[in-house]
Chains A and B, each alone.
Chain A
Amino acid sequence: MNDMTQTNLERALKIVGSRPARPDGVDKVTGRALFGADKSLPNMLVGRVLRSPYAHAKIISIDTSKAEELKGVKAIVTSTDFEDFPSEFVPNGEMVVNMKDITRNVMAREKALYVGHTVAAVAATSEDIAEQALALIDVTYEVLPHVLEVEDAEKPGAPLLHDDMITIGIEPAPESASNVAKRVEFGFGDVEKGFSEADLIIEREFTTQQVHQGYIEPHACLASVSEDGQAELWCTTQGPFVVRNFCSKLLGFNAAQIRVTASEIGGGFGGKTVVYLEPLALALSRKSCRPVKMEMNRAEVFTSSGPTSGAKIWVKIGVKNNGQITAGDCVLKYQAGAFQGAPVGPGAMCAFAPYDLKNVRAVGYDIVVNRPKVAAYRAPGGPISEYGVESVIDEIAIKIGMDPIELRLKNAAKEGTIAPYGPKLGPIGMIETLEAAKSHPHYSAPLGPNQARGVASGFWFNIGGETSSSITINEDGTVGLTLGTPDIGGSRASMAMMASEELGVPMELIKPIIGDTNSLGFNFLTGGSRATFSTGTTVVESTREAIEELKKRAALLWEVSLDQVEWFEGHARLISGDEPKTMSLAQIAKQAGKTGGPIMANCSMNVTGAGPSLGTHIVDVAVDEETGQVSIIRYTAIQDAGKAIHPAYVEGQMQGGAVQGIGWALNEEYIYNEKGELENTGFLDYRIPVCSDVPMIDTVIVEVPNPNHPYGVRGVGETPIIPPLAAISNAVSRATNKRFDELPLSPPKVLAKLMHG
Chain B
Amino acid sequence: MNYVVPKTALEASKALVQEGAFALAGGTDLLVKLKTKFVSPSMVVDIKQVPKIMGIEATADGWWIGAATPCAEIVEHESFCKDWPGVVEALSLIGSTQIQGRATLGGNLCNASPAADSVPALISARGTCIISGQSREREEPIEKIVTSPGVTALEKGEFILGFKLPKPQSGTGDAYLRLIPRSEMDIAVVGAGTTVSVDKNKKITSIRVCLGAIAPTQIVLDGLEDIFIGKEPDENSINKLVSIAEAACKPIKDKRGTIEYRTKIAGVLSKRTLTIAYERATNH
Contacts and interface: CB of A to CB of B under 8 A. Distances in A.
Interface of A: 299, 626-629, 631, 666-667, 671, 679-680, 683-685, 687, 689-693, 746-748, 751-752, 755
A679 B187 CA distance: 14
Given A626-B268, A747-B189, A689 B182 contact: yes
Contact of A752 (B179, B181, B255, B261): B261
B140 interface: no
A693 B183 contact: yes
Contact of A751 (B36, B184, B254, B261): B261
Nearest to A667: B181
A626 B183 CA distance: 16
A627 B184 contact: no
A755 B258 CA distance: 14
16 contacts: A627-B265, A627-B268, A667-B181, A667-B182, A679-B254, A680-B255, A684-B187, A685-B186, A685-B256, A690-B184, A692-B182, A747-B179, A747-B257, A751-B261, A751-B264, A752-B260
B264 A692 contact: no
B99 to A, nearest CB: 11
Interface string B174-190: 00000101111111010
Contact of B185 (A628, A679, A684, A747): A684
A629 B255 contact: no
Contacts of B257: 747-748
Contacts of B36: 299
Contacts of A667: 181-182
A752 B253 CA distance: 14
Nearest to A684: B187
A751 B266 CA distance: 13
Contacts of B181: 629, 666-667, 687, 746-747
Interface in B213-267: 254-258, 260-261, 264-265
Size bin of chain B's contact surface: 20 to 34
B261 A687 contact: no
Contacts of A692: 182-184
Given A693-B183, A747-B261, 15 more contacts: A299-B36, A666-B181, A683-B185, A685-B186, A685-B255, A685-B256, A687-B185, A687-B186, A690-B182, A690-B184, A691-B184, A747-B181, A748-B257, A751-B264, A752-B260
Query: Which 4 pairs from chain A and chain B are nearest by CB?
Result: A748-B261, A692-B183, A671-B255, A679-B255
Contacts of B268: 626-627
B193 to A, nearest CB: 17
Contacts of A752: 258, 260-261
A679 B256 CA distance: 10
Nearest to B272: A626
A666 B181 CA distance: 9
Contact of B179 (A627, A631, A680): A627
Contacts of B186: 684-685, 687
Contacts of B183: 631, 690, 692-693
Contacts of A684: 185-187
A680 B255 CA distance: 7
A680 B187 CA distance: 12
A505 B255 CA distance: 57
Interface in B105-133: none
A626 B185 CA distance: 22
Nearest to B96: A690
A680 B186 CA distance: 12
A92 to B, nearest CB: 36
Nearest to B257: A748
